[in-house]
Amino acid sequence: MQPNDLDRIARQIRLRDLQAVFEAGAGHIGGEMSAIDILTALYFRVLRISPDQPKHPDRDRFVLSKGHVALALYVTLAKRGFLPEEEIGTFLKPHSRLNGHPNCTKVPGVETNTGPLGHGLPVAVGMAKAAKLTGAEYHTYVLTGDGEMQEGSNWEAIAAAAQFGLDNLTLIIDHNRFQQGATLKDTNNLAPFPAKLEAFGWDATEINGNDMDEIVPALERRGNRPHAIVAHTNKGHGISFMQDKVDWHHKVPNAEQYQIALAELSETL
């Protein structure tokens, strides 16, 4: 699938995500909007997966470490055929399997439960190491937030991945410059990331994480070391009044704002 096709699908996913947040009255919409282009490129171009066989042993693995943006993953999985698209309407409702954080025992296509930040990358390192031990050819991808990179567990995992020579592992950092309640630079600012990752023995690539022409080749890149993609994105990407606003980390648009966002996202379909 070509970048123009991926852009179209990403816009459709953004629109459904917005609708689901508004209907549910909850969600982490800012970080969902920043990550959707990356998720779209993964699920509709890069990952070797099959909705009919979500546990096929040769499938590529994807771990959403920033698990609070689960809704964006659910909408992507539904669009890809892992879930009925109408099930998105059950998000956060009683007895729904679409909870605020992804659950691998309930939702097909989810590889591991995530939510507590700093857990997904260590799990992904384990998946990649398992492939090396068994001779499997699958590739493991993991998406973290930039604020999440403040967790020490991530840097232990980064050191281990280099030690084990995990060239079958790709880390994507959603570098939208905001976390809950503050900008990254006003908390524990570890940016810029590339030199730090390279010091640990990784290859590092910087891209515009909302541009398919840059996302796709970065995700498809292969080398002889673990690969980190620092994806510069915009919190609330695609919605004018949300973009780069810290208060949209976890907030629901009111009726007037919803109509504005709906119109802006619909214009580009």
**Structure tokens of 13?**
């996913």
Coil vs helix vs strand at 159: helix
Distance separating the N- and C-terminal Cα atoms of the chain: 17
Q: What count of other Cβ atoms lies within 10 Å of the Cβ of residue 173?
A: 30
pLDDT of residue 4: 95
pLDDT tens-digit series, residues 140-187: 999 999 999 999 999 999 999 999 999 999 999 999 998 877 777 878
Cα distances from 203 to residues 141, 161, 219, in angstroms, run 14, 12, 13
- pLDDT at residue number 63: 98
- Using alpha carbons only, what angle is made at residue 36 by residues 39 and 58, rounded to the nearest 5 degrees? 10
For residue 247, the model assigns a pLDDT of: 86
Domain housing 47: 3-267
Of the listed ranges 52-66, 82-96, 140-154, 174-188, the least confidently predicted one is 174-188
- The mean per-residue pLDDT over the stretch 130-148 comes to 97
For residue 261, give the 3-state DSSP assignment: helix
pLDDT band at 249 (very low <50, low <70, confident <90, very high): confident
Q: How far apart are CA 136 and CA 129, in angstroms?
A: 10
pTM (2 decimals)?
Answer: 0.96
Instruction: Indicate whether 83 pLDDT > 90.
Output: yes
Q: Are 23 and 262 in contact (CB under 8 A)?
A: no
Average pLDDT over residues 83-101: 97
> Domain of 246: which CATH number?
3.40.50.970
User: Residue 107 and residue 104: Cα distance in Å, rounded?
Assistant: 6
pLDDT at 92: 97
The residue count for the chain: 269
| Tens of pLDDT, residues 208-234 | 999 999 999 999 999 999 999 999 999
Q: Judge whether residue 268 has pLDDT over 80.
A: no
Compute the chain's Rg from CA coordinates. 17
246 vs 251: CA distance, rounded Å? 10
Say how many domains are in the chain. Answer: 1
Contacts of 203 (CB under 8 A, 6+ apart): 223, 225, 226, 227, 228
* Range in 31-35, 163-167, 265-269 the model is least confident about: 265-269
What Cα–Cα distance (Å) separates residue 48 from each residue in 51, 140, 220, 232? 10, 10, 12, 25
